[in-house]
Amino acid sequence: MLVAGAVCLGFGGLYLAGLLLTDGEVPSGTRVHGVDIGGLGPADAERKLERELSHQWPEPVEVRIGDRTATVAAREAGFTLDSRETVAQAARSGSDPFTVIGRLFASGDREAEPVHRVDEAKTRKALEALAEKHDRTAREGAITFREGRAVPVQARVGESLDVGGATDVLRSAVLDGRTGPVTLPVSRSEPRVGADEVNRAMDEFARPAMSAPVTVRVADRSSTISPVTIGEHLEMKPDKTNRLTPRLDGEALREDPAVERSLAGITDEPVEGVLGMEGGRVVLTEGGTPGQKVTAAGLERTVMPLLTRDGAARAATLPTTTVEPELSRKTFDSLGLKEQMSTFTVDFDPAPYRSTNIGRAVELINGSLVEPGKEWSFNQTVGERTKANGFVDGIIIQDDQYTKAAGGGVSAVATTMFNAVFFAGVKPVEYGAHSFYIERYPEGREATVAWGSLDLRFLNDSGNSIYIAASSTDSSVTISFYGTKKYDSVKAVKGPRTEVKKPGSRKGPEKNCLTQTPLDGFNVTVERVFGSGGEEVKRETFTTRYVPRDEVTCESPITL
């Protein structure tokens, strides 16, 4: 017992002596990941670790995601050095009796393990970013058609990183100091359409479909449709059993310009009937003929079976539907062109430019057919009054004075048309009078037009179609409306001139000057009176304001 006591006392003395030597310092020779912190107080040891180790450790971790590798920056993933706990743990492990006594008799380095601090939120965020970059969606096996060729698209297994499971795996790998790629857990999704199905569909349908053109016939005429055109509107999609099934878009194929041209060569468009005048009545001078039409459904049903055939078997007759012309002997009576609704004539002084311009406008207007509920437009029907459209320079009114421009004289046609509209009892939609009064036109019942700014438009509210007959001579223009009268009579009642103003007098420009005789300006009101069954039905009021027409004198007037 005495010997045992002496031994214990001696051991304790040595342990105490060792502790006195360290005096609270980290035991000498202590290293953490190669950094010597032995002999330093805890605070100095912590600062040294932070300075020399925290920015370069832990090292990046190589990971494997399926068959792909990547690198995770451990610090950005939330793994950092806990310097305080590392120093405390190194001190604790160096304070056991055997280690303390051993240092009294021997020296040497001792490697202490670093302690990690882990931010789970950062770890998950880093792995989510990794997943976004490296996840691979499943790709179904498919077949596409490009430039007349069938192109197989092979299937691919989808892989997505299991972020929750990967968080645990990465943490364990970093804390354990594992080297080499760390395999992270992934979930896999198998494609529904695999290589076998793609190969089958290529052999049975896709390659034969693109092997040659197909031929379509209507009666004794035929045309071909190329694989390039067909392929642009053909696709193969998996059905409910995951079998690749072809689908031809008949609508898109029918509207394809190449197919439109092909079908136009083997089908006939309907020919519209032609209206004309005979004995003061509108008649059908040409009856019109029906045409043929190929529908999208008919084209699809015909072409689809041909795609897997060879040689002469890649041809078939197209079904067609009959297309009746809108105007024919069958439809003529429904137009309601029973009688003359109105007619009006404007006389004018003969002049070559008037004859040309009025005659051209009449040519473009004559034969117009206005369906019930539709609008008629002077500008749209006649077009811009240019030399290219058949018009020549003449006299027009611009800025309250006569001037020279293309289309002069056309206002006579506009005035005639306005009065035909007026007495037919249909609704004017847009119209405008001349700025000053012109003596050859009826007061308050005249109109002018200007391309791009003023049109003459009316709405056919008669309930039936209206046929417009227009004609001209070198000194007059006549326009007549034919249809079914909505009223027994339409009359004009003109009121007196009011607010009369006298014109002024001025000299015209030195160049291109046109003389102008003076005329009062005034206001005038015209009422359109509708009658049926011998009684007045309603009235409409048209009010026109004319500015004075100043006298213009010219030193060298021009003439047209």
pLDDT value at residue 63 = 87
Read out DSSP for 156-170?
Answer: B-EEEE-HHHHHHHH
- At 8, the amino acid letter reads C
Element (H, E) at 395: strand 393-398
What pLDDT, on a 0 to 100 scale, did the predictor assign at position 56?
Answer: 59
* Regions of the chain with pLDDT less than 70: 1-24, 49, 53-57, 93-108, 395-407, 559-560
273's tokens: 């009937």
Contact 78, 58 (CB under 8 A): no
Q: Are 227 and 212 in contact (CB under 8 A)?
A: yes
pLDDT of residue 177: 72
Residue 241 token pair? 């059993």
Per-residue 3-state assignment (H helix, E strand, C coil) for 19-35: HHHHCCCCCCCEEECCE
Contact of 131 with 160, CB cutoff 8 Å: yes
Q: What contacts 206, CB < 8 A, 6 or more positions away?
A: 143, 145, 150, 152, 236, 246
Question: Counting every residue, how long is the chain?
Answer: 560
Structure tokens at 180: 């080499």
The predicted structure's pLDDT at residue 22? 47
Q: Who contacts 40 (Cβ-Cβ below 8 Å, separation ≥6)?
A: 25, 26, 48
**Helix, strand or coil, per DSSP, at residue 477:** strand
The residues that bridge with 292 in the sheet, in sequence order, are 322
Query: What pLDDT score was predicted for residue 390?
Result: 93
Amino acid 304: pLDDT = 97
DSSP-assigned states of every residue in 346-402: EE----HHHHHHHHHHHHHHTTEEE-TT-EEEHHHHH----GGGT--EEEEEETTEE
